[in-house]
Structure 1
Amino acid sequence: MPRLALLLTTLIWGATFPATKLALDQVPPLSFLFLRFLLGASLVGAWFVLARRTVRRGRSILAASGVATVFLFLGYVLQTVGLRYTSASNSAFLTALYVIVVPLMLRRFHGRVLLATAVATLGLWLLVKPNATMNIGDLMTLGCAVAFAGHIVCLERFTREFDAPSMLWWQMAAMTLLFIPAMGWERPPSDAFAPTGVLLLGLAVTGGFATGAFAVQMWAQQHVPAQQVALVFAAEPAYAAWLSWYFLGETLDLQGWIGSGLILAAVVIGASGSGDRAVPTAVAEVA
């Protein structure tokens, strides 16, 4: 069940690409990220109120949330700024290389995972067709892949030690605060925040559904090893390509269909294995 939940959340992550692309025609990228995380933090806070749950405030959970937020913030900033200097296809491919970085960070090398990683990498290459040249944008996006990998690794550990909903709240709140000065740096015009249908749809997908997907990820990572999570998330570019093809009319040739098929095959190969290192059970945090 956790792996199926992750696969469904990846569909939502994929939907954020066309939704964000449409919204960015109206609002600058970092300002959009501020709105996205502000909505996400508000929704998580509302859930705590309605569920009559208390946000844990212990020093340990704050420190863990802070570490995870650093990786998450770096990932989004490096990816967004890197897009100004590189192509969207290079960005999609290089970002998804966290499928390789996660097992390297954890030093977990199993035959099934290695095979799935190789198949996923080939599929990503066929799907997004990145060019062979490297520029500053590509280097920043590589840093983004490392940051997102670090975030996945953090969640594997911290969601087993601390209250996952509280960690979700602290990350959403911290991301919102961190993007306030970024929004000031962009100095967007006032009409950029006009509540148009495109902007509201983009925020609904990225700030609403994607926040729910993030919550499911944090729950699932209490049960699924990080390297398998990274493999499942490799399906995100495939979903994004299909949704962009269907809703935005973007082209997807035979090579792209083959590549996306290989990615899904890699997900099935890697996520169905049982030979990964056992993960510890969750322990209660002392507030």
Structure 2
Amino acid sequence: MVATVVWSGSFVATRGMADTVPPVQAVFWRWIIAAVAVTPFAARQAWQQRALLRKHLGYISLATLFGVTLYNTLVHQAGLTTSASNMGMIMAASPVIMALYARLGGERLGARRSCGMLLAAFGVLLLVGDGSLGFDFGAGDLWMFGAALSFATYSALLKRKPAEIGGLAFLLSTFVLGALMLAPAYAVSLTVQGGFEATPHTVGPLLYVGVFSSAVAFFAWNKAISLIGAARAGVVYYLQPVCVAVLGLLLLGERTGPAQLLCMALILGGVAFGSTARR
């Protein structure tokens, strides 16, 4: 729940700096800030487990690629051409993919949780279609579908994290490795697009997505996956479109009409129904 609410704000922050900070540069600095923020808490554990981290470097690199490098780059790219509300709505497709991954892995979803997921998914479809089941996706929407797939893959990979790797050590290693993966693209972006001006309108959102949306939210999400699984955590993730729509209205002036409110009620109803299911 903590991760879902915090990530809702990140879509608004991402959309807000879309015209001032190039996507790759925003993502690169996001992970630099996140690594700095988590280092005081994770450095000791990471150092103690350095041999273990090297042993599982292949797994950590794969998780980093989907959850840190690709996912966030796609989100920031989408922010150039679609609204914060649409970003949150489309990302709500990822729990469906998480549930499919879980089912393929042999996890039983249960009728109640499946019904809650379908009800919430129906609300998301209506929300994206502006009250109907017709769709008119732009480039930004398609980038967000890629982000949803990437994030769902990352969440599925978390279930395979070696138990002996500490949560903080894993978090710090993915942040550092993610920044390293982005470094070549960051250098190209600087050369082609130039840098960005450090102002309150750029530094403020970067600090938010670096500290809260990365360090805090990723720790909370990883912990939730380890405790209740990706499919069950994914049901609560449906709250994100509602949070994003409210923040988009308050901070960016994005419209939320009666049709959107009805769809949000469906999403909330599905979340409430599915999240109370027994495992």
Fold shared, TM-score > 0.5 on shorter chain: yes
**Counterpart for residue 102 of structure 2:** 106
Deviation at 1:95, TM superposition (A): 2.9
| TM-score (structure 1 length as normaliser) | 0.82
Cα drift, residue 176 of structure 1 = 1.0
Shift of 1:159: 6.4
Match for 1:158: what amino acid?
K
Match of 1:68 among 35, 51, 63: 63
Per-residue deviation, 1:140: 4.6
C-alpha distance in structure 2 between counterparts of 1:128 and 1:74, whole Å? 23
Q: How far apart are residue 222 of structure 1 and its match? A: 1.7
In structure 2, what is the equivalent of residue 247 of structure 1? 251
Taking structure 2 as the reference length, what is the TM-score of the superposition? Answer: 0.84
Give the partner amino acid of 2:57.
L
Are 1:174 and 2:177 counterparts?
A: yes
Percent identical among aligned pairs is 27
- What is the CA–CA distance in structure 1 between the aligned matches of 2:229 and 2:77, rounded to whole Å? 30
Instruction: Report if the CA contact (8 A) 2:129-2:136 is conserved.
Output: no
- Cα distance change, pair 27–220 in 1 and its aligned pair in 2 (3 A): same
Amino acid paired to 1:189? G
Change in CA separation of 1:175 and 1:54 when aligned onto 2, cut-off 3 Å: closer
Query: Could you tell which deviates more after superposition, 117-126 or 11-20?
Result: 117-126
1:119-170 CA-to-partner distances (Å, cap 9, x unmatched) read 1112212333365246766555433322111111111231645211111011
Structure with the largest fraction of helix: 2
Using the TM superposition, give the Cα deviation of residue 84 of structure 1 relative to its aligned residue in structure 2, in angstroms: 5.5
| 1:229 alignment partner in structure 2 | 233
Cα distance in 2, alignment partners of residues 161 and 102 from structure 1 = 24
The change in CA–CA distance for 1:136 and 1:200 in structure 2 (over 3 A counts) is closer
- Look up the match of 1:19: 13
Show structure 1 runs of 5+ residues with no match: 1-6, 276-287
Equivalence for 1:38? 32
Paired with 1:249 and 1:140, the residues of 2 have a C-alpha distance of 23
Q: 2:272 pairs with 268, 274, 278, which one?
A: 268
C-alpha separation in 2, matches of 1:205 and 1:45: 17
Structure 2: how far apart are the matches of 1:149 and 1:62?
21
In 2, are the aligned partners of 1:15 and 1:243 still within 8 Å (CA)?
yes
**Which of 205, 219, 223 does residue 219 from structure 1 map onto?**
223
Query: 2: CA distance between counterparts of 1:139 and 1:201?
Result: 27
Alignment partner, residue 90 of structure 2: 94
Residue 46 of structure 1: how far off its partner (Å): 2.4
Instruction: State the Cα RMSD in Å.
Output: 2.4
Q: Do the aligned partners of residues 135 and 247 (structure 1) sit closer, same or farther apart at CA in structure 2, a change above 3 Å counting?
A: closer
Paired residue total: 265
Counterpart AA for 2:95: V
Which 5+ residue runs of structure 2 have no aligned equivalent?
none
Alignment deviations for residues 190-234 of structure 1 (CA, whole Å, 9 cap, x no partner):
4x142x111122022100111211111122222112101111122
Question: 2:234 and 2:10 mapped to 1: Cα distance?
Answer: 18
